[in-house]
Homo-oligomer: A and B are copies of this chain.
Amino acid sequence: MQFDPKTENYGNKVAESFKKQAFMKTLGAKLVEVRPGFCEIHVPFSKALTQQNGYFHAGVIATIADNTAGYAAFSLMEAHSDILTVEFKLNFLSPGKGEMLIGRGEVIKSGKTLTICRSELYVKQGEEEKLCAAGQSTLIQIRNST
């Protein structure tokens, strides 16, 4: 889908918020691409992010599902606004086994108050990307007073 951002500054807005999230640094996550209604984040594999079998922990995958959906939504929100996740749902489709976790979130409905997104998570092994999780999220715009 094609969306018009409400501010030309949408890319900076997302990048600044991402930078303030210390947890992204903890995960080693990189903000790779932001377009109106779309966001892509990468997380290189690290032992510190694993579950009992040595794969990406479902919590890491869920974090990136949430953040790609959230920033896809945030890219369409007003200049002076903040964003909160209302809820999300995530299905795990195959083990999170790979050298890189790639998350892509996109807006499917941009409303006045609420935005609905889908996110897809891939694990990259060599040149192959495999879908490992797919989710759907509801986000709400918070109008800042300043």
| Known A92-B86, A113-B113, A131-B109; contact A50-B63, beta-carbon cutoff 8 A | no
| Known A26-B26, A50-B21, A62-B59; contact A89-B92, beta-carbon cutoff 8 A | no
> Which residues of chain B come closer than 8 Å to A114, judged between CB atoms?
86, 140
Are A59 and B50 in touch, CB under 8 angstroms?
no
> Which residues of chain B come closer than 8 Å to A86, judged between CB atoms?
86, 91-92, 114, 138
Are A67 and B59 in touch, CB under 8 angstroms?
yes
A66 to B26: give the CA distance in the assembly, Å. Answer: 19
Beyond A59-B62, A59-B66, A135-B136, 18 extra complex contacts between A and B, CB < 8 Å: A20-B53, A21-B52, A21-B57, A22-B48, A23-B48, A23-B51, A26-B26, A84-B92, A86-B114, A86-B138, A91-B136, A91-B138, A93-B116, A94-B109, A109-B134, A116-B134, A134-B136, A138-B138
Pairs of residues from A and B, 10 with the lowest C-beta to C-beta distance, nearest first: A59-B63, A23-B57, A89-B89, A20-B52, A87-B91, A62-B62, A93-B109, A26-B48, A22-B50, A17-B52
